[in-house]
Amino acid sequence: MFSPSIPALSLIALFFLTTYKFIIYPAFLSPLSKIPNAHWSSPFSPFWILWIRYCSYENRSLHAAHLKCGSVIRLGPNDLSVSDVNGLRTVYSGGFEKGQWYSIFDNYGVPCMFSSWDSRTHSARKRMISNVYSKSVLSNSSALKRQAQVILHDRLLPVLRSASLSKTGRGIDIHDIWNATSMDFITAYQFGLSKGSNFLQNESERQHWLSLYHSRKTHTFFNQELPKLTRFLRYFHVNLVPPWVDDANKELEEWCQDRCSDTTKSMDGGSKDSDVGNKPVVMDAIISGISKEKTKGDDSVLSSTTLKHQELSVASEMIDHLAAGHETSGITLTYISWYLSRDPPLQDKLRKELLTLNPSIKLASQSSENKIPSSKDLDALPLLHAVVMETLRLRAAIPGGQPRMTPYPSCTLGPYTDIPGGVRVAAQAHTVHRNAEVYPDPERWDHKRWMDDENGYSEEQRKERDRWFWAFSSGGRMCIGSNFAMHEIKLVIAAVYSNFKTYIVDDEGIEQSDGYTCGPESNHLFLRIEKI
Ligand code: HEM
Ligand SMILES: *[C@@H]1O[C@H](CO)[C@@H](O)[C@H](O)[C@H]1NC(C)=O
Ligand SMILES: *[C@@H]1O[C@H](CO)[C@@H](O)[C@H](O)[C@H]1NC(C)=O
Ligand SMILES: *[C@@H]1O[C@H](CO)[C@@H](O)[C@H](O)[C@H]1NC(C)=O
Ligand SMILES: *[C@@H]1O[C@H](CO)[C@@H](O)[C@H](O)[C@H]1NC(C)=O
């Protein structure tokens, strides 16, 4: 008679347990099993979504899956995606926390505000700096005004003027110029003009820096998506991330650290700088924020991180702002100037509007004429606003997913209840901004969507349009620099189109890449500039 041995019985038990745990439970019993699958393998294996991410096919794949399966979908066993404002409200306004995915933004090995996982340490860091990025402080800041004046009148406009005189047929790579402009803007506000970058005028330094920054970009996959495997293999000297990525990171970190220590030195020196543009607004805020936090001693939630490694933490925060601040704004400016270059009559209309500014940003013959319009006056220009908003909608600089973790013990997402804690869930602006009911014919760039005098929208349509706009994310982890970015972008576009016309010379590869922060595939846009 057949009598199974103990090992055979254990094998059979193991087989059933494994089948239960990895197939039956996730596909049929888990509360997640009620959520539509983006791919048939999604309940069992993360392979499909990892592959999609590895190949940079996420934006179109998830967008197509949402169109087919609805606004909450399952990408992998523990990986969800949401695509409507209800999902945004639950996840982002509901304070779902970040996770491991953001740890690659722990510069110098210490967390910054952006990379903080939990809301307690995040709030403590945010308290120190959010004020200097608020609309009321920005619009009243004499430091920012002076910085804008120098960057626009002494650096940008002369660069564009000399480009307009150039006889080469290739035009100017405007993406490079916008990178430099936004870098100069954000670092001036952080460190003051004299300690900030001067990429607009120093081409060699700018190109070196930007190419270092760029070289790291295609190598985030393994550290973000497979951090355990990456660390494990590294232990055996197998590097999934090439060593020069670490070298590039190190050089960028040193560059920022130098700026931080120079700035701190001049702050400690106590010498009053007579030029208000040299005020290091963000550095001031974070250093005094840390001093205040220190009075709490061991009770501070930051005692083992920010307070323990103060200098590195300041540098970690600063490099995050200049990274987050320059690339996103640079991309947005590039797409705005691309759309405008395709439409000369629209440029003329915009110029007419810009010349109503008082003061306007005209190339000045005398430096006393170098005035800068107020943010209030800039915000009052409907066409300028519409052009910026529509570009942020269709070409959001962060079109990719912003992952969060579901809270413990469980939560509800739309119609799906009992979703366990610790499950990754994200929305991507790429999909949110392409809802055809809110943005009809969503692939079309149409600035009139944002012009209330021209689009004939009802009150309800306007409300929906604004509710679905998500270029800066939402909730407690929303972009801290959104007001800064809007102001800077409007100033720059106003400066350019008050003085010049632009035409496309070469826009091959202008399609936006697929990933987290995404610029033109080619990384360039060549324009011809013509002085008016
Ligand atoms: C057009 C320009 C910009 C766009 C489209 C943009 C977009 C975003 C988005 C979508 C997020 C949320 C990301 C996530 O949670 O994964 C974010 C966060 C952030 N952004 Fe921006 N951003 C822009 C400009 C700036 C600027 C100029 C700064 C300068 C300080 C900045 C600093 C930050 C910081 C520090 C965070 C993290 C906030 C937190 O965790 O509380 N951004 N941004
Ligand atoms: C700017 O500052 C003035 C006084 O310094 C204040 O009255 C005003 O409310 C501030 N503006 C904004 C927009 O906060
Ligand atoms: C612009 O900046 C981004 C981010 O630093 C970088 O990846 C890209 O190479 C830069 N492009 C140009 C043309 O400078
Ligand atoms: C440009 O920056 C580099 C590196 O910081 C510096 O050595 C060089 O002197 C600068 N060039 C000009 C023209 O300012
Ligand atoms: C997303 O995918 C489409 C292809 O469907 C591509 O053309 C586009 O540039 C991609 N990136 C973004 C950010 O839209």
Per-residue pLDDT of the chain (532 residues; tens, 9 = 90+): 566 688 888 888 888 888 888 788 888 888 999 999 999 999 999 999 999 999 999 999 999 999 999 999 999 999 999 999 999 999 999 999 999 899 888 999 899 999 999 999 999 999 999 999 999 999 999 999 999 999 999 999 999 999 999 887 789 999 999 999 999 999 999 999 999 999 999 999 999 999 999 888 878 899 899 989 998 998 898 888 888 888 999 999 999 999 999 999 988 876 677 889 999 999 999 999 999 998 998 888 888 888 889 999 999 999 999 999 999 999 999 999 999 999 999 999 999 999 999 888 988 766 656 789 999 999 999 999 999 999 999 999 999 999 999 999 999 999 999 999 999 999 999 999 999 999 999 999 999 999 998 999 999 999 999 999 999 999 999 999 999 999 999 999 999 999 999 999 999 999 999 999 999 999 999 999 999 9
223 lines ligand 2 (CB under 6 A): no
The radius of gyration computed from the CA coordinates of the chain, to the nearest angstrom, equals: 25
The H-assigned helical ranges of 80-220 are 85-88, 119-129, 135-140, 142-149, 157-165, 174-191, 203-217
Q: Which residues contact 197 (CB under 8 A, 6 or more apart)?
A: 183, 184, 187, 188, 205, 206, 209
186 lines ligand 1 (CB under 6 A): yes
Ligand 1, atom 17, lies closest to the CA of 479
- pLDDT value, residue 368: 57
Compute, in angstroms, the gap from residue 321 CA to the centroid of ligand 4. 23
AA identity, residue 398: I
Q: 294: exposed, middle or buried (C-beta count within 10 Å: 0-12, 13-18, 19+)? A: middle
Q: Identify which of 398, 375, 397, 395 has the alpha carbon closest to the alpha carbon of residue 385.
A: 375
- pLDDT value, residue 241: 85
- pLDDT value, residue 63: 96
142 lines ligand 2 (CB under 6 A): no
134 lines ligand 2 (CB under 6 A): no
pTM (two decimals): 0.94
136 lines ligand 2 (CB under 6 A): yes
Q: CB of 410 within 8 A of CB of 421? A: yes
- pLDDT value, residue 365: 63
What is the homologous superfamily of the domain 120-386+476-532 according to CATH? Cytochrome P450 (1.10.630.10)
Cα 339 to Cα 347: distance, rounded to the nearest angstrom:
10
Ligand 3, atom 8, lies closest to the CA of 214
Helix, strand, or coil (residue 420): strand
Cα 455 to Cα 162: distance, rounded to the nearest angstrom:
39
Q: Which residues contact 251 (CB under 8 A, 6 or more apart)?
A: 212
Bridge-based pairing state of the strands 416-420 and 410-413: antiparallel
Q: CB of 517 within 8 A of CB of 398? A: yes
Compute, in angstroms, the gap from residue 472 CA to the centroid of ligand 1. 6
Ligand 1, atom 41, lies closest to the CA of 477
Q: Measured in whole angstroms, how far is the alpha carbon of residue 86 from the centre of its chain?
A: 22
Domain layout of the chain by residue ranges: 120-386+476-532
175 lines ligand 3 (CB under 6 A): yes
Cα 189 to Cα 280: distance, rounded to the nearest angstrom:
6
- pLDDT value, residue 371: 83
